[in-house]
Amino acid sequence: MTRTRLIFVAIVAVALLIVAVSLVWRAATGNPADAGLTVERPEEITVRVLVALPVEPWVRAAAERFNRSGPTVEGAAVQVEVIAMDGLVALGKWDRNDFGALSANVDPQELQPEERARLADFPTAWIPDSRYLVELANVPYKERLGRDVFLTDGTYRARPIAISLFTWGIYESRARVLLERFGEIRWRTIHDAAVAPGGWPDLGGDPAWGFFKLAVPDPRKNVGGLAAMIAAAGEYYGRTDISVEDVTDPEFQQWLGELMGAVTNISGGSAYTAEDFALFGYSVGDGGQLLESDLLQNMQGIVTHWEEPLLLFYPEFVTWFDFPFSIWMGPETTALEKNAALAFQRYLLSQEEQKAALAFGLRPANPEVSVTATEDSLFVRWADRGVEPVVPRTTAMRPPGRDVLLTLLRWYELNVVR
């Protein structure tokens, strides 16, 4: 073989090696080939993040601190814009493609200026209530595009930024009566209290309390309402996975109907039930299963306005939210925007910001931060109300499928909505 041919073969081999290494790197990091629109490098990047309601106050405060710090990515200044949106509402928008994701056969480099302009407000990232919402959002796009738009592995994978679980919050006077009568706080206890024909007098409580009143947020406005019903179904069946057949079982529907019949007009029509406790007191309900962080954030308002605080009790069958920071991996956003979103994700997971989340009643996703790490932690402040720094041994419910969620929602609309 001549020297010229040897050099040519060597050059080709090096080129192939570079391509192979590049492909392996993309597979390992989750960096897709179509990372985003190719545009001139901007001086400023705006990262638009859809944020679930329970973590929106913390994320918004963190975004303001992040923006003031003067962050940059590859020389471009970064600003984060927070858009509050309930997880179910956002899921519906993704399902209907309300945000305007491009079709699979559209080349983003061939878009007209007005078409690119329509993508200016496209979300860079989404922080829903739970990772199962991310999985559900991926389904229609995988069918349309042949790929996931939110990743589960690699550098750009969806990562939880905080944790909050559903727990019982019950006014202390009512909780003492229920414990005396039933020995524990669980869904079956609440059901039996709800169907007591004589109301609180039958349970050993004050006749002035009337009938037992359950507080559950409207599942059409707050995904927490569905989470509560899923936990109730788990306890009813004694297992962690719930199917459509379980939801449509007549005996379960009768039991759930009796339980939800105790939901008040205020809590059953609201997306902010824990906040309503602070505003309206006993008229909202005697207690309910709500998100721990919402209960802790509103505990001071409840004490201030109504003098009697809630006691917290942790259920055996527990549902929780993990608020995954999910970066959109389609070509609708640029590679710089994706990397800027990744920088904000890392900022939220920093020890300082995870400590800041404690003041909002959120459990850290960073394992190096404990719930008692700061003096202003709500887990420290309300420890005498039953708050557990380490959650007792529980049975975790499996994430529900789309059909289960829609069936429960439809049942609620037909049987509970007044």
What does the mean pLDDT of the chain come to? 88
Given the DSSP bridges, would you call strands 72-73 and 159-160 parallel, antiparallel or unpaired? Answer: unpaired
Q: Measuring CA to CA, which residue among 248, 249, 227, 230 is closest to residue 239?
A: 230
Q: How far apart are the C-alpha atoms of 288 and 171, rounded to whole Å?
A: 10
**In the predicted model, is pLDDT for residue 1 greater than 60?**
no
pLDDT value of residue 257: 94
Q: How far apart are the C-alpha atoms of 184 and 194, rounded to whole Å?
A: 15
Q: Give, in words, the CATH class of 31-161+323-349.
A: alpha beta
Which class for 141: exposed (0-12), middle (13-18), buried (19 or more C-beta within 10 A)? buried
pLDDT value of residue 3: 55
DSSP track, 265-300: HHHHT-S-HHHHHHHHGGGT-SEEEEEHHHHHHHHH
Contact 358, 373 (CB under 8 A): yes
What sign has the CA pseudo-torsion 35, 37, 41, 42?
negative
Contact 160, 52 (CB under 8 A): no
Helix, strand or coil, per DSSP, at residue 168:
strand
Q: 78-108: per-residue pLDDT in tens?
A: 999 999 999 989 999 999 999 999 988 887 7
Per-residue confidence band for 23, with pLDDT thresholds at 50, 70 and 90: very low
Q: Between 182 and 26, whose confidence is greater?
A: 182
| Equal CATH topology for 31-161+323-349 and 164-320+386-415 | yes
Contact 101, 141 (CB under 8 A): yes
Q: Residue written as tokens 């720094």?
A: 389
Amino acid at 137: A
Contact 60, 38 (CB under 8 A): no
CATH assignment, 164-320+386-415: 3.40.190.10
**In the predicted model, is pLDDT for residue 283 greater than 80?**
yes
Helix, strand or coil, per DSSP, at residue 389:
coil
Q: How far apart are the C-alpha atoms of 111 and 108, rounded to whole Å?
A: 5
Q: 388-415: per-residue pLDDT in tens?
A: 998 876 788 988 888 998 899 999 989 8
pLDDT value of residue 2: 58
Which sequence spans correspond to the domains of the chain? 31-161+323-349, 164-320+386-415
Q: How far apart are the C-alpha atoms of 320 and 373, rounded to whole Å?
A: 22
Q: 215-235: per-residue pLDDT in tens?
A: 988 888 888 889 999 999 999
Per-residue confidence band for 32, with pLDDT thresholds at 50, 70 and 90: very low
